[in-house]
Amino acid sequence: MDCTICTSMPVMLRPPRNIICSTCYEGARSVIFFINKQLQTAQGPADQKPNLCKTLENVSKWVRDMKAESEELGEKIRFLSGFSVAFRDQIHTDILLQPGESGPPIPAHKALLAIRSEVFNNILDSDGCKAPATDTVKLPELNHEELESLLEFLYNGDLPEDKMNKHIYSLSLAADKYGISYLQKLCECHMLKSMSPANALDVLEVADVCSSLKLKENALDYIVKNMHDIVFSAKYDSFALKNPHLCVQISRASLMDAKRKSVS
């Protein structure tokens, strides 16, 4: 008999003759299990109850509720996106950010900078930055394009993939220096996902400067696993001259890995 759920032919639902195929059965169980897990997580350990969602009708209601919440969240995001419009159209900007190299300063808003970064808040709260719109703060570690990308992230909470790829290291260092934890977290996730023999040394160097233990451990592990391609590359020579302490750590990690393999 055809499955009453996934069949292409209309069927008369007459219990108890209705049947479902094993795929639909397992799918329904998986969906209910997933939603129960989400509900238990949302309610917290104290209020956890088994089988909060018991039937596919409950699943349908949960999906409708999630859709309504998603639409409400979208409206809230659009409502709160006024700052990004103000940055794009340069509305009532009250501070200039000067990149390290020659290039025009970029107008911004003190209030947003102070909200996004405690370091910026402290800078702007000093006596030298109390009012005029001609105030200028210099960010010597960023060039003009990198500074534009940093500000785009601060205003929008996101960056296009191409800009993230191009400026990932400078953005990570800036996030660490100015205490922008959300950007730092995104940069670390991006570097972990895009690790390759070509960039592993760069990731290790950034992780060391930013004191990111998890990122550093992953970079070291990746370098050890791809030792030949990385250590015998032309890039490793300049890296070694600049970061002798990291070369020592790579050597130690490689020896420890070899020891573990010999024991096992």
Instruction: Return the residue matching tokens 């979208």.
Output: 74
What pLDDT, on the 0 to 100 scale, is given for residue 232? 92
Spatial distance between the Cα atoms of 60 and 62, rounded to a whole number of angstroms: 5
Q: Identity (one letter) of the amino acid at 173?
A: L
Contacts of 210 (CB under 8 A, 6+ apart): 172, 173, 175, 176, 184
Asked if residue 49 lies in contact with residue 40, where contact means CB atoms within 8 angstroms, the answer is yes
Spatial distance between the Cα atoms of 231 and 236, rounded to a whole number of angstroms: 6
Q: Is the dihedral of CA 46, 50, 56, 57 positive or negative?
A: negative
| Most confident range, picked from 60-64, 76-80, 93-97, 208-212 | 208-212
Q: Which residue has the higher pLDDT, 199 or 14?
A: 199
Q: Is 59's pLDDT higher than 70?
A: yes
pLDDT bucket at 106, cuts 50 / 70 / 90: very high
Spatial distance between the Cα atoms of 137 and 177, rounded to a whole number of angstroms: 15
What pLDDT, on the 0 to 100 scale, is given for residue 63? 79
Q: Is 224's pLDDT higher than 90?
A: yes
Contacts of 17 (CB under 8 A, 6+ apart): 1
Burial class (CB in 10 A: 0-12, 13-18, 19+), 262: exposed
Q: Is 129's pLDDT higher than 80?
A: no
- Once rounded to an integer, what is the mean pLDDT over residues 237-244? 94
pTM of the model: 0.70
Q: Is 131's pLDDT higher than 50?
A: no
What pLDDT, on the 0 to 100 scale, is given for residue 1? 55
Q: Is 83's pLDDT higher than 90?
A: no
pLDDT bucket at 91, cuts 50 / 70 / 90: confident
What pLDDT, on the 0 to 100 scale, is given for residue 157? 87
Which of the residue ranges 30-34, 111-115, 243-247 would you say has the lowest mean pLDDT? 30-34
pLDDT bucket at 19, cuts 50 / 70 / 90: confident
- Once rounded to an integer, what is the mean pLDDT over residues 59-76? 78
What pLDDT, on the 0 to 100 scale, is given for residue 246? 96
